[in-house]
Amino acid sequence: MKHWKRTPAISLEAVVRARPVGLPQVEAVRVLALGSIFFFHLWSVGLPSPIAQGPVGRVLSFGYLGAFLFNMISGLVLCLPYLGTAASPVPNYKEFLRRRFLRICPNYFIALMLWSSASFMERGEVDGHLLSYFLYHLLFVHTLSPETFFEIVPAFWWLGLLAQFYLVFPLVLRLFIKLGGGRMLFLVCAVCWGGWMLLTRLAAGHPASPWASFNYMVYYNLPVRLPEFVMGMWLCQTLSTGGNPHSDHGRRESMWSPFNPFSLGMIFSGASALVVAWILLPLGAMPLFHFYQAAWCLLVFGGLLCWSPLAALGRTRPVAVLAKASYSFYLLHQPILGYTARWLGQSPGAVQLLLVLFAAMASFLLSLGLDALVSRLRCR
Residue (of 35, 68, 72, 30) closest to 314 by Cα position: 30
CA end-to-end distance (rounded Å), the chain: 9
**Per-residue pLDDT tens digits of the chain, which is 380 residues long:** 333 333 333 333 333 333 334 578 999 999 999 999 999 998 888 665 666 677 777 888 899 999 999 999 999 999 988 875 557 888 899 999 999 999 999 999 999 999 999 988 887 766 778 899 999 999 999 999 988 989 999 999 999 999 999 999 999 999 999 999 999 999 999 999 999 999 998 888 777 778 888 888 999 999 999 999 999 999 988 876 554 444 444 444 444 555 556 666 767 777 888 888 888 788 888 899 999 999 999 999 988 888 888 888 999 999 999 999 999 999 999 999 888 887 776 565 666 777 788 888 999 999 999 999 999 888 76
The per-residue pLDDT for 347 is: 61
Distance of CA 18 to CAs 5, 50, 301, Å? 17, 48, 23
Q: How far apart are CA 32 and CA 45, in angstroms?
A: 20
Distance of CA 30 to CAs 72, 197, 320, Å? 10, 30, 10
Query: CB within 8 A of 1, min separation 6: which ones?
Result: none
In DSSP notation, 60-122 reads HTTTTHHHHHHHHHHHHHHHGGG-STTPPPPPPHHHHHHHHHHHHHHHHHHHHHHHHHHHHHH
The per-residue pLDDT for 251 is: 42
Upper half-sphere CA count for residue 275 (Cβ side, 13 Å): 6
The per-residue pLDDT for 317 is: 93
CA Rg value for the chain: 21
Q: Is 217 exposed, middle or buried (0-12, 13-18, 19+ CB in 10 A)?
A: middle
The per-residue pLDDT for 239 is: 73
Q: How far apart are CA 69 and CA 299, in angstroms?
A: 11
The per-residue pLDDT for 109 is: 96
**Cβ contacts of 270-273, under 8 Å, gap ≥ 24:** 270/295, 270/298, 270/299, 270/302, 271/299
User: Is there a contact between 61 and 131 (Cβ–Cβ < 8 Å)?
Assistant: no
Sign of CA dihedral 244, 246, 249, 250: negative
Q: How far apart are CA 210 and CA 81, in angstroms?
A: 41
